[in-house]
Amino acid sequence: MNFSPFASLFGGSNNSGAKMQTISASSAVQFHGDNDTVFIDVRGHGGISFSGTVKNALVAPLQEFANHAKTDGSATFPSIEEGKRIILVCASGARSGAAGNQLVRMGYTDVANLSGGIGAWARAGGPMGK
């Protein structure tokens, strides 16, 4: 399933024309626990320690992002071939937007940025973890 119903927030596309989308926290909560969805928090460990993160999210701080994003699945992120939906989160949406653009340029096609960041997630009742 892809995010085509959601409006694009940031630029960035790949050769297939895929673009990163934006997703509201209330919509993102519906994807939590879905085996085809991966949440990735791109904040540093200090920010996550302070406010928590999406329960079971992968942590890939933006400054280390390239070490986690390997399209063949040899690092933290799933391979492109797995076709997982990726929802990126940070404090406000700026860092996760930059990370999402990077993933789209790498060839990932189902990428969304969580609008309003972790605060919006918490207000929407999304499950929290550390």
State pLDDT tens for residues 86-106: 999 999 999 999 999 999 999
Q: Which H helix or E strand runs over 85?
A: strand 85-89
Q: Return the sign of the alpha-carbon dihedral for residues 25, 30, 35, 36.
A: negative
- Residue 18, pLDDT score: 77
SS3 track for 90-124: CCCCHHHHHHHHHHHHHCCCCEEEECCHHHHHHHC
More reliable by pLDDT, 11 or 36: 36
CB 111 within 8 A of CB 28: no
The predicted pLDDT at position 130 comes to 84
| CATH tag, 21-124 | 3.40.250.10
Q: Domain locations in the chain?
A: 21-124
pTM over 0.75: yes
The lowest-confidence range among 5-19, 49-63, 110-124 is 5-19
Q: Quick one: pLDDT at residue 2?
A: 44
